[in-house]
């Protein structure tokens, strides 16, 4: 009798386990970003935003339990690829997301899509992936790198600005920014200077700039290069004299370090913390409450990435093997984005608005970016014609 009871109990447990195993297949998301080193601050912004998104979803993406695995690419493409391999083969993730840097993305994205897994990029926007290398399984919630300077170029062109002096670091992204500007700005450029990547002291270039007598200065200096340039620009007394327009230079990460030196700076961007829509108000408000600082666009994109994945899993009712269904769902961009409603172009890059931002003194006395006007409505990237997808 006892053996029979034991056998029944065992069978019951086994049946329960079997049922469990089938019903509660969790969603696994791999998120690759830079968490160590000087650029680790960006990774922190992205990670915190992903965590907030998961909180808002009740830790369930598409209604399923979710496991998120973070990887630190140390800003190295080969480490990023190794992380992607590990996430795909060891953790068997259903989605890979994240990636800050274009060169890391160019190593990671083909690895992920080549393995038949969906990739949702949340920052890097190299033109190859918008054009020739576009892929059915690759989506991005950010932008294509050139779109942001294109918006700046359009604004300058519309305003009839002239005598522009352009500066950027001497690497692929720097050159892309200036060529993006020139795609829409057809006015006179009195100087185009490329500086050493990672350069700290810009005194020599600022002296040359003054000698060229420009009316407008355009720069692209991400990260610490931006902080250095802005401080030195202000110290040279140019802040009040020659207006400074930039892309990816002044943001919520660099503002606390630069302070007044960034006052009056213009930027173009697809998003800003003060963009008015329901999803963004919830995101920025809850983010400030939970983490105690203001989020940046890196974070907003990562938040949207999780929400996009959620919408796809919801659409296929949790059937993670239905990749075609998820791709179709993602193409609809049927989720509440922090940038407001937008659509996907056939190359899976967003068609979205771009705004002119200015850094001004906010109500609390600190400096913040505020939207001034819309520069582009439903702007497409310049490389989508090269993408063979329909």
Partner 1 sequence: MTWLLVVEQILNGLQLGVMLFLVAAGLTLVFGIMNLVNLAHGSLYMIGAYFAVAFLGWTGSFAASVVLTLLATLVVGMLVEVVALRTLYERDHLDQVLATFGLILFFNELVAIVWGRAALFASVPPALGGFVELLPGLRYPVYRAVIILVGLAVALLLYVVVGRTRLGMLIRAGASNRTMVAALGVNIRLLYTVVFGFGAALAGLGGLMAGPIYTVQPGMGEELLIEVLVVIVIGGIGSIRGALVGAVVVGMVDTLGRAFLKPMLGTVVSPAAADSAGPALASMLIYILMAAVLYFRPQGLFPAVRSR
Partner 2 sequence: MTRPRRGLVTLAALVALAVVPLIAGLANQPFYLDLFRRIMIFAIAAVSLDIILGYGGMVSLGHAAYLGIGAYAVAVPALHGVHSAWVQWPLAMALSALAALIIGAVSLRTSGVYFIMITLAFAQMLYYIGISIEPWGGDDGMRLARRSQLGGVLDLADPHVFYYVVLAMLAVLLLVGERVIEARFGTVIRAVKSNEPRLQAIGVAAFRYKLAAFVLAGAVCGLAGALLANQTEYLTPSYMHWTRSGDIIVMVILGGMGTLAGPVLGAATFLLLENVLAAWTVHWQIILGPLLVLVVLFARGGLLSLLPGGGARDG
Q: How far apart are the first and last CA of the chain?
A: 67
CB atoms near residue 114 (< 10 Å)? 12
Q: Report the distance separating Cα 251 and Cα 293, nearest Å.
A: 13
| 204 is a site residue for partner 1 (CB under 8 A) | yes
Q: Report the distance separating Cα 193 and Cα 306, nearest Å.
A: 39
Instruction: Give the pair of three-digit tokens for residue 222.
Output: 């991400």
Judged by beta carbon, residue 71 or residue 180, the one nearer partner 2 is 71
Identify what 107 binds: partner 1, partner 2, none; CB under 5 to 8 Å per kind. Answer: partner 2
CB atoms near residue 190 (< 10 Å)? 15
Contact 293, 48 (CB under 8 A): no
Helix H or strand E encompassing 378? strand 367-379
CB of 83 to partner 2, least distance (A): 9
CA 223 to chain centre: 14
CB of 332 to partner 1, least distance (A): 37
Judged by beta carbon, residue 101 or residue 354, the one nearer partner 2 is 101
CB of 224 to partner 1, least distance (A): 4
List the one residue out of 227, 297, 301, 213 whose CA is nearest residue 265.
Answer: 227
List the one residue out of 286, 287, 328 whose CA is nearest residue 311.
Answer: 328
Q: Are strands 64-72 and 60-61 parallel, antiparallel or unpaired?
A: antiparallel
- For partner 1, what does the binding mask look like between residues 299 and 338, x meaning CB under 8 A? ----------------------------------------
Q: Which stretch binds partner 1 (CB under 8 A): 77-85, 181-189, 226-234, 307-315?
A: 226-234
CB of 204 to partner 2, least distance (A): 18
Instruction: Mention every residue, 6+ apart, whose C-beta is less than 8 A from residue 330.
Output: 118, 120, 139, 308, 311, 312, 344, 348
Residues 241-300 that bind partner 1 (CB under 8 A): 253-254, 256-261
| 362 is a site residue for partner 1 (CB under 8 A) | no
Q: Report the distance separating Cα 338 and Cα 214, nearest Å.
A: 37
Tell me the H-state helices in the chain.
2-23, 40-56, 77-85, 102-114, 127-130, 147-159, 172-184, 203-212, 223-235, 255-258, 278-291, 297-315, 323-332
CB of 72 to partner 1, least distance (A): 13
Q: Which stretch binds partner 1 (CB under 8 A): 19-27, 198-206, 323-331, 380-388?
A: 198-206
Contact 198, 228 (CB under 8 A): no
In the list 57, 79, 161, 236, the residue contacting partner 1 (rule: CB under 8 A) is 236
Judged by beta carbon, residue 145 or residue 338, the one nearer partner 2 is 145
| 76 is a site residue for partner 1 (CB under 8 A) | no
Q: Which residues would be at the binding site for partner 2 (CB under 8 A)?
A: 35-37, 40, 71-72, 74, 76-78, 81-82, 85-86, 88-90, 102-103, 106-107, 110-111, 126, 128, 170-173, 175, 196-197
Identify what 193 binds: partner 2, partner 1, none; CB under 5 to 8 Å per kind. Answer: partner 1
Instruction: Give the pair of three-digit tokens for residue 250.
Output: 């002044």
CB of 268 to partner 1, least distance (A): 23
By rule CB under 8 A, what count of residues binds partner 1? 39
CB of 254 to partner 2, least distance (A): 21
Judged by beta carbon, residue 43 or residue 62, the one nearer partner 2 is 43
Residues 14-53 that bind partner 1 (CB under 8 A): 36-38, 40-41, 44
Interacting residues toward partner 1 by CB under 8 A:
36-38, 40-41, 44, 170, 192-201, 203-205, 207-208, 211, 224, 227-228, 231-232, 235-237, 253-254, 256-261
């Amino acid at each position: 009798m006892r053996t029979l009871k034991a056998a029944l109990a065992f069978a019951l447990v086994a049946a329960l386990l079997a049922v469990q195993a089938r019903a509660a297949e969790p969603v696994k998301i791999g998120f690759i970003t830079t968490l160590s080193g000087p650029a680790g601050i960006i990774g922190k912004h992205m990670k915190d935003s992903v965590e907030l998104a998961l909180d808002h979803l009740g830790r369930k993406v598409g209604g399923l339990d979710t496991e998120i695995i973070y990887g630190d690419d140390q800003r190295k493409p080969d480490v990023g690829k190794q992380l992607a391999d590990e996430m795909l083969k060891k953790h068997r993730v259903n989605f890979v997301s994240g990636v800050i840097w274009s060169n890391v993305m160019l190593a990671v994205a083909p690895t992920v899509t080549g393995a038949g897994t969906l990739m949702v990029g949340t920052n890097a926007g190299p033109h190859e992936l918008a054009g020739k290398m576009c892929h059915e399984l690759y989506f991005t919630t950010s932008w294509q790198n050139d779109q942001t300077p294109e918006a700046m170029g359009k604004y300058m062109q519309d305003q009839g600005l002239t005598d522009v002096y352009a500066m950027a670091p001497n690497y692929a992204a720097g050159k892309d920014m200036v060529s993006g500007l020139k795609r829409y700005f057809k006015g006179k450029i009195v100087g185009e200077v490329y500086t050493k990547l990672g350069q700290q002291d810009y005194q020599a270039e600022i002296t040359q700039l003054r000698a060229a007598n420009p009316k407008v200065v355009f720069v692209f200096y991400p990260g610490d290069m931006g902080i250095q340039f802005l401080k030195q620009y202000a110290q040279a007394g140019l802040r009040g004299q020659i207006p400074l327009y930039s892309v990816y230079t002044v943001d919520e990460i660099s503002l606390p370090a630069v302070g007044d030196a960034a006052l009056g700076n213009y930027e173009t961007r697809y998003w800003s913390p003060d963009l008015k829509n329901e999803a963004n108000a919830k995101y920025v408000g809850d983010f400030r409450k939970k983490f105690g600082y203001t989020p940046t666009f890196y974070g907003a994109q990562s938040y949207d990435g999780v929400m996009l994945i959620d919408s796809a899993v919801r659409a296929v009712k949790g059937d993670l093997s239905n990749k075609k269904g998820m791709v179709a769902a993602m193409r609809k961009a049927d989720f509440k984005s922090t940038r407001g409603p937008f659509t996907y172009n056939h190359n899976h890059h967003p068609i979205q608005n771009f705004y002119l931002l200015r850094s001004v003194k906010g109500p609390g006395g600190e400096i913040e970016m505020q939207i001034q006007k819309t520069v582009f409505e439903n702007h497409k990237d310049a490389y989508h014609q090269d993408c063979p997808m329909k």
